[in-house]
Structure 1
Amino acid sequence: MANKSLNKNSVKYLKGIAHGLKPYVTVADKGITENIIKELETTLDYHELVKIKIRADREQRVQLIETIIKTTQATEIQRIGQTLTIYRANPKNPVYELPK
């Protein structure tokens, strides 16, 4: 589930923060388009922790999640139903200070 680059405490911390977030991006019937990727990149750079709503059946959702993570180089924090939470640190302007 979570990438090896984040320890358990960091993932737990980010899950706690993500609980109160609303989805910033929605992937619908058109799938992952160039505009969705641009929006994800911008949102990850600004917020670091992003919730994504994926409107698709289970098999398609798994493929979409793999594509999102591979394309954005983000870490999967959590997936519940149609909601995916990803994290990518911004080295120039960090938003969160992760626990050690």
Structure 2
Amino acid sequence: MNVAYSDDDLIDFISLAQSISAEHPVVVSKFMLDAKEIDVDAVAQAGRLVAFAVCEHIENAGVHSGDATLVTPPQRLNRETKGRIADIVTTLADELQVSYGEP
């Protein structure tokens, strides 16, 4: 993994990746300073949300989930943010018609 701090860095890293293998994808992520990272796990049947849980990363965004410390329920998310998360998860389940197991 490489971190690009400028447009020139990004161009150099993508060129390097292409020279190694043009057959494999390049993943680009944007990290925002002082951002909060959360994980959501959800279960839906026929697009209807059955259950979901929100985990809050203790560290700032950018620490790999396998190396991060997470807590649930989230301790530092306000009510509005929790509501927006619930709305987004519900909409995704419905729009994608997510289903687990047998209907």
More RCO (CA 8 Å, sep 6+): 1
TM-score by length of 2: 0.28
TM-score by length of 1: 0.29
